Amino acid sequence: MKKIYISGCGGMLGEAFYEVFRAGSMLKCTDIDVNAPWLSYLDIRDLDAYRKDVTAFRPDYLFHLGACTDMEDCERNPANAWLTNTTAVENAAYIANELGIPLLYIGTAGIFDGHKPLFDDWDTPNPISCYARSKYAGEVFVREHVARHLVCRAGWMMGGGPAKDKKFVQKIMHQLSRGATELQIVNDKFGSPTYTRDFAHNVRSLLEKEYWGVYNMACDGLTNRLEIARAILELRGLQDQVRIAEVPSSHFSAEYFAQRPPSECLINAKLSLRQLNQMRHWKLALKACLDDYYGAC
């Protein structure tokens, strides 16, 4: 039985990793926000505490999931963004090297500038926000300093349900649960949804094969916010009851002021070449997500 230490495990992705890996593995799951009985406290920014806790567990793998993903908070508090998204990743790399174990790091499609419609694993990142720059710096450090590493880049995350999801799908579901009859949805942002449970399953396959390196890992199919919102309404049988008002992203510029690329669409080229692309089409994954966390409609 493999022992896996998962830091930053309190969010939507951590919940999926816990569910996928707990069968057949011995887990130690930590987070600064202890919001589940299987979590214990750890601040990944504290190298001494991080090193002590991981070393005591003596894991076979270190999964580093923790990050500050609130893009506006990163712009308001850049020091915390760099400390959490870069320095803490360096901490994980030091620990993995000291113990001689592989390190998993979660990358993001946001490191690309959106200057073209879609990006494969070999495209050169050009981050345009504090969040993206700090995340890319973490990715580069892992790639350059940890021999056995997995950098898996996710797109627009979905999963976790009302308790964990702070992203687009839950924001739509929250409005619908409050009886909204109109949704204002941006029509100029494109990307690749990424279902957290599919993501965790695909990571497990890479680990089993020991295919180290950098991988795009998003759902198949390219889409935009507008199409996702329409799909949610159709899946919940609300397409005739709720109207969608298309708006440009500038409509929400006061609330969402961090710069976002026009396209964050990923192609899982390396996964496909290795015949390990298990990421479902985003429409199938979206249905599974809604069924899993909100109940079948």
For 163-210, the pLDDT digits (tens) are: 999 999 999 999 999 999 999 999 999 999 999 999 999 999 999 999
User: pTM, whole model, 2 decimals?
Assistant: 0.96
Domains and CATH numbers, the chain: 2-160+193-221+263-282 (3.40.50.720)
Confidence bin at 297 (pLDDT 50/70/90): low
Q: CA distances (Å), 116 to each of 127, 145, 190, 244, 292, in order? A: 14, 30, 11, 27, 34
Residue 1's pLDDT is what?
Answer: 87
**Structure tokens given for 139:** 């990715």
Quote the CA–CA distance of 102 and 12 in Å, as a whole number.
Answer: 23
> What number of other Cβ atoms are within 10 A of residue 53's Cβ?
19
Helix then strand then coil, % of the chain, to nearest 5: 45, 20, 35
